[in-house]
Structure 1
Amino acid sequence: MSETSTTHLSAAGVSIWLDDLSRSALTSGSLQRFIDEMNVVGVTTNPTIFAGALTDGRSYADQVAQLATAGVSADEAVFEITTDDVANACTMFRGIYDATNGVDGRVSIEVSPTLAHDAPGTIAEAKRLWAKVDRENALIKIPATLAGLDAITEVIGAGISVNVTLIFSLDRHKDVIDAYLAGLEKARTAGINLAEIHSVASFFVSRVDTEVDARLVKIGTPEALELKSKAGIANARLAYQLFENEFNTPRAVSLLASGANPQRPLWASTGVKDPSLPDTLYVTELVAAGVVNTMPEKTLRATFDHGIVTGDSITVNYGDAEAVFAALAAVGVDIDDVTAQLEREGVEKFIISWGELLDTVRIAMEGAK
């Protein structure tokens, strides 16, 4: 493979995952081209992505017709359609999974966001998804709500690999790591091979800037405006520092010595929403060994085309990140309030997308009868 920005990013220790999946991407060869040409080694999905994919009914017409004839509900149809796509993507990525000993070659699928505050429901749905996809390289996405924390421990304890999503705050990130370690301890007690369990902690970036910047503009002072577009990156850098610290504790070291894998930080929401910012900002400024960056196609193409990767841009900037947080507090931005709001909105947005997905499939099924 020729030297490109994405090869440089991979060489710096960043796993490039695509934040998108559709049946047309699987069947047209476009996903395979991203793998071959842009160093993509995994895929993430969410209800919004599947809702968008299903609006193009042509790729799904035959299966929708079959499901309509079978008389299944819209919920069951969505379950069948999405798990089929994820299983087929897992098959496509199996070679990468084997070559990286299970670190990459991963495809994520999310439990229904309507279960975000229902731990038992999330646990049951996660196990159902895992069994249905039936691929070692799947990751089950569970939101980092308070109920989600209990579900993470139980699902990891059952030997299921998990992508923890919708993490916005450092405190919640620490809770997520604790839940993962507790799950590993349960798995070890049950005699499950810890080496086969993998997890990523999806820390959202650009949404933090969107909300903080709106508050900074409202404050309006020169000191406040100087901090625009700095919170998201600072937050993520401190999340990586937390990751380093938490996986060096005696508890974590004991589990790692038993064959466990660290829970890698994953940068999500890396598409730039402010057009005045560089379109690769949340990629090039968040480079460090052992992280995942899951990018929408537009960000991936921008990174491939003109991203400038100069090596580690995280650990060398911990002091700057701490200074940004101190400055935000000084001008009156309550970061705890910001992240709590973003978690609520994140769950609500996915529930809305889930409803749109169900409606799209329901209408398509009625038209196929």
Structure 2
Amino acid sequence: MRLTRRLLLSASLATALLGAGAAHAQQAPNSLLNASYDIARELFEAENKAFEPVYKAKTGKDLKINQSHAGTSKQARSIVEGLEADVVTFNQITDITFLADKGYVAKDWQSRLPNASSPWYSFPAFLVREGNPKGVKNWDDLVRDDVKLVFPNPKTSGNARYTYLAAYAYALEKFNGDVAQADAFAKKLLSNVVVFDTGGRGATTSFVERDQGDVLISFEAEVINVKDAYKDKNFTVVVPEVSLLAEFPVAVVDKVVDKRGSREIATEYLTFLYSPEGQKIAAGFNNRVVDPEVAAANKDKFAPVRLVKVEDVFGGWDKAQKTHFASGGKLDELFVAP
């Protein structure tokens, strides 16, 4: 009898624990963590401020979206090391591919949202000092001996890898595909950098507040935002004749949302970025958006540019990663630290 009572008690306790666990799993959290690229602080503060009341009106529940910002490669490594980000809003596909390879993001992540899961785009452009004293107009000017550059470290920043590849693509076109001359062009560009910060915002600080360098190279959205924020410095934005398309991919971090029970909220949040309101906010921060109506309404504020793609010039991100950015790759051969 005592054995039977013990068995019944154990069964009842197990059932209660399972029920409590199920109830816990069904209760969605009241916060999300978005791990994002270094220069996107203000953009996502605005996106979050707009989304939170939308979520409240729909569900009757409060939601707090927290942010983490750094170079996207550093962010991806941090997630693998334990940062529980529900979503990533990056500036380079390879850093999400890295998470997919590690089992944190689904392999089919690019098919889950429109435009290959990239709600807006930009490209490397230049910010120069008042009056453009060095007469910078195009990539050629950045390899002159008298022009000093500021952009992040390509080893830690997706922003900087776009700059490196954009310059390399320009050189390949200029020299009719001559790899040796393109290598020399990229090496000179890298040697002209006076400081390699770990992320885009650090590079902006070095250029704006520490007065380092003649040219800041960053995404067009960032250089326009900086120009507008520091009107007293009379910076000038220079859009080169050709640059490299920079997509801004987003994804749910499956391993984290399944653990936290936040998949539905995370998906709604990323979907909001494609909504007219989310697109208007992104365009307001000078990103080029994918919504046709919002893009048309903002067309006049952007300079013309011819954009080339990683897929067309470098054979895709996987090949570019192996050729240029893997350990012992071309970047390691050409990189000269200041």
With the length of structure 1 as denominator, give the TM-score of the two structures.
0.27
Instruction: Compare the two structures and name the one with the higher helix fraction.
Output: 1
Task: Please say which structure displays the higher CA radius of gyration.
Answer: 2
With the length of structure 2 as denominator, give the TM-score of the two structures.
0.29
